[in-house]
Amino acid sequence: MTRAKVYITYKAGVVDPQGVTIRGALVSLGFQEVQEVRMGKFIELELEGSSSDQLRSRLQSMCERLLANPIIEDFRFELDGEAAGAPGVKE
Amino acid sequence: MKFAVVTFPGSNCDDDCYEVVKEVLGQEIRFLWHKDRDLKGIDCVILPGGFSYGDYLRTGAVARFSPIMEVIIEYAQRGGLVLGICNGFQILLEAGLLPGAMLRNSFLSFICRDVFVRVETKETPFTRRCEPQQVLKLPIAHMDGHYFADPEILRRLEGEGQVVFRYCTARGDLSEEANPNGSLSHIAGICNSKRNVLGLMPHPERASEACLGGEDGRLIFESLLAGKNGLS
């Protein structure tokens, strides 16, 4: 089994009213250093098989077809101990 | 004219659509279950409002992969009439039958009230009975109705006259105050380039009888009939 972590974030230029609201709350709590907050989604999956190019390519496809909406969102993922790659880029 | 309305798990406006088509318009309508794979020779399919699959992941994201959507996508590509209302609009966006995406409302609240929308084009099967620039009073009820598209898609929508409804004041003016959810360019409804698929956030089925507080929504359903009977 391989554990995958998928991070989904709004693209630059897409307004994120939740992020704006959270920033406002942080600033009102005295955290004036907060310049911007962007909220996203985090999804964990348990995948059959060991980490491989094929598994990465399957996960890429899951993100493109369902987990993220490419019109408004970017995604990146990591398998087990790997560090997350660039958004949506298959290595 | 034969209509169908699709019931997804979590749809809650399917009965309202059924009632309007059957009792107000006096037309045939049947329910289709999301697992059906046959449209059974209909002339128009309605994707109703509600919270299909609990709005999990993104609104419409899971419903878009229901078995019925495969045949609806094919039907739309052949030129079949598809009307998506509220969650139905969100499903059409996720399915790629209409361009763009929905974001959370700007002020993060669920909005349930009457709004005014301006008919931007009557050159669609859904608006041919409206007057140009006619202002309709229709109810909205949604959390994710903030329409978004990248500049190129928006340019194409505007250029091809695919923006069908815009939020406006009672007099038909566009203003930030009259835009309830922050939608780009005040967009409340759009159609595809072939003009056989319409998605809109307001609920015409909730405003098709005087006893429900308004009849403006009926114009959209009557427009569909006008085409069928060659009255347009």
- Tens of pLDDT, residue by residue, chain B (232 residues): 999 999 999 999 999 999 999 999 999 999 999 999 999 899 999 999 999 999 999 999 999 999 999 999 999 999 999 999 999 999 999 999 999 999 999 988 999 999 999 999 999 999 999 999 999 999 999 999 999 999 999 999 999 999 999 999 999 999 999 999 999 999 999 999 999 999 999 999 999 999 998 999 999 999 999 876 444 3
Q: Residue B182 and residue A17: Cβ atoms within 8 Å?
A: yes
C-alpha distance across the termini of chain A, in Å: 21
With cut-offs at 50, 70 and 90, classify the pLDDT of residue A83: low
State the Cα–Cα distance between residues B120 and B131, nearest whole angstrom.
9
Identify all chain B residues contacting A67, using CB atoms and an 8 Å cutoff.
57
CA distance A41 to chain B (A): 9
Neighbours of B33 (CB within 10 A): 12
Q: How far is A71 from chain B (nearest CA, A)?
A: 7
Give the active site residue among B17, B86, B130, B168. B86
Mean pLDDT of chain A: 89
Active site residue B86: yes
Is the Cβ of B70 closer than 8 Å to some Cβ of chain A?
no
Q: What is the model's pLDDT at position A91?
A: 39
Give yes or no for B107 touching A (CB within 8 A).
yes
Do residues A23 and A37 make contact, with C-beta atoms less than 8 angstroms apart? Answer: yes
Residues of B in contact with A14 (CB under 8 A): 103, 148
pTM, 2 dp: 0.92
On whether any CB of chain A is under 8 Å from the CB of B104, the answer is: yes
Residue B9, classified by CB atoms within 10 Å of its CB into exposed (0-12), middle (13-18) or buried (19+), is: middle
Answer yes or no: is pLDDT of A32 > 90: yes
Specify the range with the lowest mean pLDDT, choosing from A68-72, A87-91, B93-97.
A87-91
For B101, which of A13, A67, A69 is closest by C-beta distance? A69
CA–CA min distance B215, chain A (Å) = 34
Q: Is B146 a catalytic residue?
A: no
The answer on pLDDT for A89 being more than 60 is no
Instruction: Name the residue among A3, A6, A16, A2 with its Cα closest to residue A67.
Output: A6
CA distance B227 to B163: 20
- Cβ separation of B101 and A67 shorter than 8 Å? no
Closest partner residue to A18 among B57, B94, B108, by Cβ?
Answer: B108
Out of B62, B94, B103, name the one closest to residue A15 (CB).
B103
Give the nearest partner residue to B104 out of A13, A17, A66, using CB atoms: A17
d(CA A69, CA A67): 7
- The residue-averaged pLDDT of A11-40 equals 94
**Chain A hits for B65, Cβ within 8 Å:** 66
Residue B117's φ and ψ, nearest 5 degrees, are: -130, 150
Q: Using DSSP, state whether A20 is helix, strand or coil.
A: helix
* Closest CB from B62, B65, B103 relative to A72: B103
- Residue contacts between A and B (CB atoms, under 8 Å): 35
Distance separating the N- and C-terminal Cα atoms of chain B: 15
> For residue A84, what is the DSSP state?
P
- In one-letter notation, the amino acid at residue B180 is P
H/E element holding A41? strand A40-47
Q: How many helices (H) and strands (E) does chain A have?
A: 2, 3
pLDDT at A87: 54
pLDDT given at position A19: 92
- pLDDT of res. A8: 97
Mutate to test the interface with A, among B70, B150, B157 (most CBs of A within 10 A): B150
Determine the pLDDT at residue B126. Answer: 98
Has B203 been annotated as catalytic? yes
Distance (Å) from the alpha carbon of B181 to chain A's nearest alpha carbon:
11
